[in-house]
Amino acid sequence: MYNGSCLRISVRVTLIGWGTRYRRRRFSSIGKYILKFCTKAYDKGNENDMKKAGKSRKKKIILILASVILCAALVLGGLMIYGNAQMGKIPGLTFMDALNYTTQGKPDARITVGIIQDGQDSFTVYGENGQILPEENHVYEIGSLTKTITASMISRAVMDGRIRLDDTIDAHLPLPEGKSYPTITELLTHTSGYSAYFLRPR
């Protein structure tokens, strides 16, 4: 059986215990709110930093692209101006000026000029630096003119019955037996699979 003083002490201790637990809960709740607030603030700061970094990266990329486009435009513009200036000189060139310009420093240059006048024909062969060469057989780089000549010759040969377009090339050339060769049509249409060769006379 407790007396009055013991009861007061017991009630006081109980209240103190409740107060301590309440303060702990209260401080714990406050700590959670503070931690949550700090976390949100940190995340928001990181998000802002990331946005700023993204914007800065985009600006750098745009600046680099603009610089590249500007440089390309300047180069192309310069080339066009130079080309127009060079082309503007052509009308004022004489035949010998044009010939010397074309053959200057080119040992393999071969240009033949034919003249038909008063029913008489003649020709002159020019080489490096416009030098006149002997009237003999020469090797020419005629480029796409071979397409017209080849088409005319093939058409004539087909009409004369000398070749057929579906003939393989070994039917007209001395090639090793036992191999597969393309047809004339495949040669003409560039579907033979052969690479380009430049043959020089022996």
What's residue 12's pLDDT?
A: 46
Query: Residue 50's pLDDT is what?
Result: 67
b/e for 133-164, b at 16 or more Cβ within 10 A? Answer: eeeeeeeeeeeeeeeeeeeeebeeeeeeeeee
Which pTM does this prediction carry?
0.37
Per-residue pLDDT of 165-189, as tens digits, reads: 999 999 999 999 888 999 999 988 8
